[in-house]
Structure 1
Amino acid sequence: MSVMIYPQGRTLSFVYGDERILVCREDRPKVTSRVQIKVYPDGRVVAAAPSDIDDHAVLVAVKKRARWIHQQLRDFRQQYEHLIPRQYISGESHLYLGKQYMLKVIESEDHTPQVKLLRGSLEVSVRQRHSGNVKTLLAEWYKDKARDVFARRLDAMLEHTLWVSERPQFRTRVMQTRWGSCSPKGCLTLNPYLVKASRECIDYVLLHELCHLAEHNHSERFYRLMNQIMPGWQSVKEKLDGMAHRLLLN
């Protein structure tokens, strides 16, 4: 199982005005029968409900909030109209471990191409000031940092997961729909873009996958484990979901 960036489940839909709105249905722990509806900045509409509630009932709940959903989508679309694509030039803001750093590009034929994390800035040295060169260097830097950070956070999280007898292997791989996954053999795959998020978000993804070593499905036992080792994980998940579009922005 895996921590999804964009939830995968049954897709429902309804019409509001002249627009058909798609809704991704997610299962949630059966602690309440209430349908939880969220609209994300990238235009996703997610309805989370216990698995024993049928799709019709979920749609009824969604339609009751149709006006609010439509307004949220419209507001986010207006915000996106003002987003400026990354140009990889000095002055841009880039994330690392949940904090913003200003990009500083230095062109010098004498310097080895490299990235340095300085106080408040990411300094990228290139021989030619070309956005493609800067982008490539920065992407590799994120991957290197991700492997180091994930290894340290994994060791820290293993202190709380007593059901894990051996340190699981992990690898990093860029994924567009997942933050992490756990194979049937217990190997973890983590998205290097996750290193842009806070340590709390990284810990949540690691703990989610470590819980799958004990319970491969999203069962009641799985959620009990999550609640035991990370009380309030739902708010961390919501935070991570809400900033997914920024973390994935190249």
Structure 2
Amino acid sequence: MPGVQLEFRLDAPRRPAASVPGSLRVAGRDLPVEYVRHPRARRYVLRLRPDGAARVTIPQRGSLRAAREFAAQHTGWLERQLTRLAPQQVRDRRWRAGDAILFRGEWVVLRVTHDEVAPVVTFAGEALHVVDPAGDLRPAVERHLRGLARRELTTRVFELAAAQNLPVRRVTVRDQRSRWGSCSRRGTVSLNWRLVQMPPAVRDYVIWHELMHLREMNHSARFWRLMAEVCPDFAQARRWLRQHGEALR
């Protein structure tokens, strides 16, 4: 049996390969598990993602059955890591007046004021009405950010695609927990609304990454050469995502 490895990761989500979904009973609940085969992997790797789901990487000569057995053998490890993760999930769940959030790559403070209609939340020139200014502001602020993202990201995708004569047919902006974006062979680009929270250069990197899949539907050396042509500083953007990606969750 190939070697094994356990990892507890709180870094930026990566674009997943084709996977097999599953679940595992851990600490009295069903934990989502994603089984992903990787041709260059040499061992079974079990990771706990920031969203509380598990991911098992299967080496080239490994089997799905062995991967499931491997995960089942390490439920104790998963339970311990879930215990570590729980306080961070609770801490990050609510946004209140005075909290700072990322917006266009900058930390901005949520402030509450009042006008003649209702309480208003303001940040970085944005303003929106809320019902309960003393409560959780996150649902209202996220709805506002999603609206901005749909307008801005759609426009930006078509701008960049036109610059390279790429055949984009449709753009969707969604709430994606495990990836920043995706691209289909038919020209549909799907993006995570949280791109509006990133610096413009990092946002563009993610968009270019998906657009280049219209020319190369993999992550081969040719793909990264194409990326270097349209986004020469992509390494800096990837570094930013590794360092700050979790703050966007």
Q: Pick the TM interval, shorter chain.
A: 0.5 to 0.7
> How many Å separate the matches in 1 of 2:64 and 2:201?
33
Could you say what the CA RMSD is over the residues aligned between the two structures, in angstroms?
4.6
Q: Tell me the SS of whatever aligns to 2:166.
A: coil
Partner of 2:91: 83
Unaligned ranges ≥5, structure 2: 1-12, 229-233
8 Å CA contact 1:126–1:134 kept in 2: the answer is no
- Contact kept in structure 2, 1:89 and 1:103, CA below 8 Å: yes
Residue 68 of structure 1: CA displacement?
Answer: 3.6
CA distance in 2, matches of 1:170, 1:240: 31
**Mapped partners of 1:225, 1:108: distance in 2:** 55
**Cα offset, 1:91, TM superposition:** 0.8
Assess if the C-alpha contact under 8 Å between 1:38 and 1:46 holds in 2. yes
Q: Pairwise mapping of residues 62-81 of structure 1 onto structure 2 (< 5 A)? A: 62=71, 66-80=75-89
What corresponds to 1:189 in structure 2?
A: 190
In 2, Cα distance between equivalents of 1:141 and 1:78: 25
In structure 2, relative to structure 1, the CA distance for the partners of 1:66 and 1:157 (3 Å cut) is: farther
SS in 1 for 2:220: helix
Q: Which residue of 2 aligns with 1:45?
A: 54
Aligned pairs, number? 228
Q: Which has the higher contact order (CA 8 A, sep 6+)?
A: 1
Query: Matched residues in 2 for 1:69 and 1:109: separation?
Result: 51
**Displacement, 1:22?**
4.4
Tell me the amino acid that sits aligned with residue 109 of structure 2.
M
How many Å separate the matches in 1 of 2:46 and 2:58? 9
Q: Which residue of 2 aligns with 1:27?
A: 37
* Contact 1:104 1:124 (C-alpha < 8 Å) held by counterparts: no
Question: Superposed, which structure 2 residues align to 1:160-199 within 5 Å?
Answer: 165-166=165-166, 168-177=168-177, 179-199=180-200
**Is 1:94 matched with 2:101?**
yes
Closer/same/farther in 2, CA of residues 181 and 34 from structure 1, 3 Å limit: same
Q: TM-score, normalised by structure 2?
A: 0.63
What letter matches 2:78 in structure 1? I
Quote the Cα distance in structure 2 between the aligned partners of 1:4 and 1:43: 15
Q: 1:136/1:195 Cα in 2 relative to 1: closer, same or farther (>3 Å)?
A: same
Change in Cα spacing, 1:95 to 1:172, as seen in structure 2 (3 Å) is farther
Superposed CA offset, 1:55-86 (max 9, x none) = 13434554675544332122112433x43753
Partner letter of residue 194 of structure 1? Answer: L
Shift in Å, 1:52: 5.2
- Per-residue deviation, 1:104: 0.9
Distance in 2 (CA, whole Å) between partners of 1:13 and 1:19 is 10
1:57–1:31 distance in 2 versus 1, CA, 3 Å: same
Deviations 1:34-63 (A, max 9, x none): 333321232111122356531134345546
Q: Does 1:124 align with 2:134?
A: no
Percent of aligned positions that are identical: 20
Contact persistence 1:142–1:192 (CA under 8 A): yes
Q: 1:124 is aligned with what amino acid? A: A
TM-score normalised according to structure 1 size:
0.63
Change over 3 Å in CA distance of 1:67–1:226 after alignment to 2: farther
Q: How many angstroms apart in 2 are the aligned matches of 1:13 and 1:242?
A: 25
SS class of match (1:83): helix
Cα distance, 1:27–1:127 mapped onto 2, change above 3 Å: closer
- Out of 237, 242, 246, the position equivalent to 1:239 is 242
